[in-house]
Amino acid sequence: MLVPDLFKRDVFDDFFDFPSMPARAAQTATVMKTDVRETESGYELEVDLPGIQKENVKVKLDEGYLTITASTTDKKDEKDKKGNYIRRERFSGSYSRSFYVGDNITENDVKARFENGVLMLDIPKPETLPKKETTKYIAIQ
> Which CATH number does the domain housing residue 111 bear?
2.60.40.790
90 and 106, same domain (yes or no): yes
The span from the CA of 103 to the CA of 65, in Å, is 8
The answer on 49 and 70 residing in a single domain is yes
Q: Let me know whether 36 and 20 are in one domain.
A: no
Q: Are 22 and 29 in contact (CB under 8 A)?
A: no
- Whole-structure pTM over 0.85, yes or no? no
Per the domain annotation, does 137 fall within a domain? no
Interatomic CA distance for residues 53 and 72, integer angstroms: 8
Q: How far apart are CA 61 and CA 78, in angstroms?
A: 41
- Do 43 and 123 touch, CB atoms closer than 8 A? yes
134 lies in some domain: no
DSSP letter, residue 75: E
> Which of residues 73 and 87 earns the better pLDDT score?
73
According to the model, what pLDDT value does residue 140 have? 61
Query: Does residue 57 belong to any structural domain of this protein?
Result: yes
Instruction: Read off the pLDDT band of 7 (50, 70, 90).
Output: very low
Same domain for 44 and 19: no
Do 48 and 102 lie in one domain? The reply is yes
- The single-letter code of the amino acid at 51 is G
Residue 117, pLDDT above cutoff 60: yes
Question: Do 86 and 55 share a structural domain?
Answer: yes
102 in the Ramachandran plot: left (φ > 0), alpha (ψ -120 to 50) or beta? left
* DSSP H or E run through 36: strand 34-38
Residue 116 lies in a domain: yes
Separation CA 21–CA 25 (nearest Å): 12
Residues 59 and 10 occupy one common structural domain: no
Are both 50 and 4 inside the same structural domain?
no
| Number of residues in the chain | 141
Please, which residues have CB within 8 angstroms of residue 136's CB and are 6 or more apart in sequence? none
**pLDDT, mean of residues 1-13:** 46
Task: Please report, as a single letter, which amino acid is at residue 89.
Answer: E
Domain extent, residue 88, equals 31-126
Residues 79 and 10 in one domain: no
Structural domains counted in the chain: 2
State whether 45 and 9 are in the same domain: no
